[in-house]
Amino acid sequence: MAQPKPRLKFTVDDYMATPEGTRYQLLDGELIVAPAPNSRHQTVSRDVFIALHQFISVHRLGEVWYAPFDVVLSEHDVTQPDILFVSYDRANIITPANIQGAPELVVEVLSPSTQQDDRGYKRRVYGRHGVREYWIVDPVGETIEVLTRSGRGLGLRATYRRGETLASPLLAGLSLDLNQIFG
């Protein structure tokens, strides 16, 4: 019986040595090329970012960033969420080069090429490393799934659709009108 070949796992150091100009993520030691998103993805991502940035700035809660910005979760996991939030209470994980640890909120806007990772491995890795709230935004289905930390990682708290208003368990008082996001 043939022995399976050992799988090479890349590390954060390998990831940091990749050439500039190509967007990669490091998922379970595998370098994944992240193709440029389409215009619908960008429009939805922009509108979610603007709404979050306004709310977080007004309430002086922390910092919000958009991709590409590395989030180093482990020696074999570096993601570039579409949007991420780190509170001022946890500002120590922010470095000039990247985020060293789990943001409180991560937002991924689905694309055909990333959907499987966003719903699968990234959901598990974000849950394992302490992300408190994870939004999966579907620009085609016009939904936002809000997942929150539970005893078993990140569990679905609610699914919001066009015509509804998203309420975040993490960001008390945030009201996100999905008609404006998916306009």
Residue 133's nearest CA partner among 161, 174, 104, 99 is 104
Paired tokens of 159 = 């699914």
Query: 10-residue block means of pLDDT along the chain (183 residues)?
Result: 76 92 90 90 97 98 96 97 98 97 98 92 96 98 96 93 97 96 94
pLDDT confidence of residue 90: 97
Residue 85's nearest CA partner among 52, 38, 42, 116 is 52
Within a 13 Å sphere around the CA of 129, how many CA atoms are in the beta-carbon half? 25
**Domains (range + CATH), the chain:** 37-181 (3.90.1570.10)
Residue 145's nearest CA partner among 111, 180, 119 is 119
DSSP 8-class letter at 22: S
**CB neighbours of 97 closer than 8 A, spacing ≥ 6?**
70
Q: Is the peptide bond before 68 cis (omega within 30 degrees of 0)?
A: yes
pLDDT confidence of residue 123: 97
pLDDT confidence of residue 151: 82
pLDDT confidence of residue 48: 98
Q: Identity (one letter) of the amino acid at 139?
A: P
What is the C-alpha separation between 30 and 57, in angstroms, rounded? 36
What is the C-alpha separation between 136 and 153, in angstroms, rounded? 15
pLDDT confidence of residue 5: 67
